Structure 1
């Protein structure tokens, strides 16, 4: 799948100190995908940044082509967002 990043999202990735390669990996091989709201799907994976484990979450609108990355962030609250099958 092809993804489009807005300028805002690219700026936020830098501001939040999230390595671009981790974002790309999560988008192309997420550990989990979950429907969030309306047309937004969350791609998420556990990643290590600075020696600490975070959950990297990318919100994506898959209803358009290319899919649009709405926002990307990391959180230490893995249990809150991790979905067990």
Structure 2
């Protein structure tokens, strides 16, 4: 399935200094997937950056032939969002 990014997602990923490789790894190999509304999934994965754990959350809208990244962000509030690690 083809992966595309909205202009908003591109801007947010750049502003938040997230590596697209990490975003795509989270989509392709999530630790957790949450249904968020009609055809929108939140892919989550815990990762380490500079010795600290973060949860990366990627919102993706599913369409017939592609996955469209709506936004992506990291948070240190892993438990709040149901990340698999504490």
**Distance apart, 1:83 and its partner CA:** 5.8
| Structure 1 residue runs without a partner (length 5+) | none
Please report the TM-score for the alignment, with normalisation by the length of structure 2: 0.85
Q: Summarize the alignment of residues 33-48 of structure 1 with structure 2, pairs less than 5 Å apart.
A: 33-48=33-48
Alignment-derived partner of residue 26 in structure 2 = 26
Alignment-derived partner of residue 61 in structure 1 = 61
Give RMSD over aligned pairs: 1.6
Distance 1:3 1:51 in 2: 30
User: Per residue, is there more helix in 1 or in 2?
Assistant: 1
**Distance apart, 1:8 and its partner CA:** 2.1
Distance 1:77 1:21 in 2: 22
- Whether the 8 Å CA contact 1:27–1:58 is kept in 2: the answer is yes
| Structure 2 residue runs without a partner (length 5+) | none
* Offset from partner CA, 1:45-78 (integer Å, 9 cap, x none): 0011232111000011113421111110111110
How many residue pairs get aligned? The number is: 84
Please report the TM-score for the alignment, with normalisation by the length of structure 1: 0.86
